[in-house]
Amino acid sequence: MVVRAVLGAFAVAAALGAVGAGMSRREPALASVAVIVAFVWGVVAGLFLLRALPSLPPTTALDRFLVILLPVALAIEAEAAAHWLGGFWLTAERGCVALVAVPVLLHGSVWLEGGGPALAILAAAIFFWASWEGITGEVRDSDDRVVAGVTVLALVVAGLAIAMAGWLKGGLVALPLAGALAGALAVEWAGSRAAGGSLGRDGGGHAPSGLAGLTAAGLVALFGLVVVGRCFGRLSSAAALLILLVPLLAVVPAAIGRGLPVSAAGRLLCSASYRIFLAVVPLVIVLWGAKADFDTRLGRLLGAAPAAARHRLVSARLVSPRPELQAVPAFEFGRDRLGGEVASVERGDVWNVGGKQAAENDPPARCETAAELVGMRPEHRGDDVGEDEVVGWLDGKLVKGG
Amino acid sequence: MPRLPALFAIVLALATGSLRAADDYDYDLVHSSVGFKARFLDISWIQGRFNDVSGKFSLDRQDPSKSTFSLTIKADSVDTANAARDEHLRQPDYFDTKQFPTIEFRSTAVKAIPDGYEVTGNFTMHGVTQPVTIKLVGGKEIEAMGKKRVGFGTELKLKRSDFNFDKGQIGNIGDEAIIIIDCAGQRD
């Protein structure tokens, strides 16, 4: 179903984009509007095939993203492509949308109780507006396709990360968005090759192109998904930040490179392969982290985790010679394999017992059987440790054996 | 002294408690539980509970229709004895606890039945309110540990699809969920 949704979104966006751009060949502005409209219908088709169309009225963050934020942003980009408004008004409209985007997405949730984190919301709005306005302007001036391309990749990775963190629907919705964007971009690219420039750009070279509108659509989609994935799913702050940086990593070096005198460094900064590499690195990090998190958490629920992962999280009791510390410190083994071998554990991570901090050199005294350990802290209950296994300390390292 | 019989009747009524207002009880979290279970792959049951529940009930024993029951469950407190699964259940595929932090029941009509009360009310979960009727078994008041106490138990069958849960997630876990409420109330 997912593959069908992605392919369907791609096909509908590409087909409608081709028809629309073909019909408005003599009207550059209309051609660029056509590819944006094609993207919209591609998204609708993909969500329909995924059986993930938003509910009306929108009650969840994902619904508000799909029904309010994305359509409003696309309407602004269509206005830009059609020359209905001047640059100042477009900037103002983008600013207004950026300002209300996060409150709209978080509406009615616990995040906005008591006014919500106003500073964080303002910072997100400024970041959103600056990247939307800045990147779109840069693409409009340079016809740079790299940003839109890596935004498609970032959408895919954001979706996979959100899904692997446990919100399947939220993650999967990203995939038809990416498919539709890729389809519309493919048409824009083909049309621009046929026209000898950017689709929608007139002979003077100053008219907004369809490429800029599609890039903006991708940026808005990415921002909205990452915000709802972070605030309502379990997407980590670090992953969210890395994903949002991806379009900037693709566009900023080129902008710097173009400002430099002609040199090897300038050419490197402008080269597509270099910028794609810069953008892909954080995406790989995000995917790797999401996969590791999935293996240690949800993978076990689904029976998909490798055997080694089953012993990664253990709750344990440390019995210290100091009576005041003989309580229930719990620790995590980290990501080391723990099959009858030794795993190093940061002792400083675990000692905070009854409000007292153990000294660095307090030696733990003896082992506890795992059977006594499991379930000591609610968040570790159900961890997979055999009842005959023993966990304890030896020379400052944790040992486990039969 | 025509007023004397009336005054006498009032004094007598006060003495027997017939004019007493309804008894208001606070939910006793320590001696209560709200659990749930749902079918897993239609071969077994997954069970869990909510650890953070509050409520009030007011019992008018003379006129049960004036009694009221309310229960508020913090959805975030879901506990199935598996941290990873609990995290999963808090996400938008299931309870969406950041968007819909509470599950609530508010009675709208109460009538006495032989072994308790039949309570009709609005059950709100996942942002959707549906009318439900439950049979609360219990209601006998005793005095223990310095407080007057009363307890009820009930089971309530719900369909997750009626509460706008993600249909894509109804499959491995059955659509029908059984809510098991055993609650005690206390008053001074």
Q: Do A232 and B82 touch (CB under 8 A)?
A: no
Q: Which of A115-129, A242-256, A333-347, B131-145 shows the lowest per-residue confidence on average (mean pLDDT)?
A: A333-347
At residue B7, φ and ψ (nearest 5 deg) are -60, -40
Condensed to tens digits (0 to 9), the pLDDT of residues B101-155 reads 999 999 999 998 988 899 999 999 999 999 999 999 988 888 888 888 888 999 9
B68: in domain: yes
Question: What is the domain extent for residue B125?
Answer: 21-187
Cβ contacts of A167 on chain B, cutoff 8 Å: 91-93
pTM greater than 0.80: no
pLDDT (0 to 100) of residue A51 = 87
pLDDT (0 to 100) of residue A297 = 77
The DSSP secondary structure of A204-248, one letter per residue, reads TS-SPPHHHHHHHHHHHHHHHHHHHHHHTS---HHHHHHHHHHHH
Give the closest-approach CA distance of B164 to chain A in angstroms.
9
Which 8-state DSSP code applies to residue A365?
Answer: -
Across the range B28-53, mean pLDDT stands at 86
Share the mean pLDDT of chain A.
Answer: 73
Q: Which of A17-31, A295-309, A342-356 shows the lowest per-residue confidence on average (mean pLDDT)?
A: A342-356
B4: in domain: no
B14: in domain: no
Residue whose structure tokens are 């998190």 = A293
Of A59, A169, A300, the CB nearest to B84: A300
B2: in domain: no
The CB-side HSE value for B92 (13 A sphere, CA atoms) comes to 25
SS3 A231: helix
pLDDT (0 to 100) of residue A360 = 40
Distances (CA, A) of B65 to A77, B25, B71: 59, 16, 18
AA identity, residue A122? L
pLDDT-above-70 percentage for chain A = 67
What is the residue extent of each domain of chain A?
A: 2-301, 306-402
Q: For residue B71, how many other CB atoms are within 10 A of its CB?
A: 22
List the single best residue of B49, B79, B91, B172 to mutate versus A (max A Cβ within 10 A): B91
Between A140 and B12, whose confidence is greater? Answer: A140
Residue A396 has pLDDT above 60, yes or no: no
Across the range B9-17, mean pLDDT stands at 49
Confidence of residue B42 (pLDDT cuts 50, 70, 90): confident
Give the closest-approach CA distance of A117 to chain B in angstroms.
14
- Distance in angstroms (rounded) separating the CA atoms of residues B50 and B73: 7
Q: Which of A123-132, A151-160, A199-208, A260-269 shows the lowest per-residue confidence on average (mean pLDDT)?
A: A199-208
Residue A286 has pLDDT above 90, yes or no: yes
pLDDT (0 to 100) of residue A124 = 92
Rg (CA), chain B: 20
Nearest CA in chain B to A111: B98
Chain A residues in contact with chain B using a Cβ-Cβ cutoff of 8 Å: 51-52, 55, 59-62, 108-111, 165-170, 231-234, 297-298, 300-301, 378-382
- Distance in angstroms (rounded) separating the CA atoms of residues A257 and A252: 8
Count of domains in chain B? Answer: 1
Lookup: tokens for A124: 């997100």
B107: in domain: yes
CATH classification at residue B115? 2.40.128.110
Of B88, B96, B164, the CB nearest to A232: B96
SS3 A263: coil
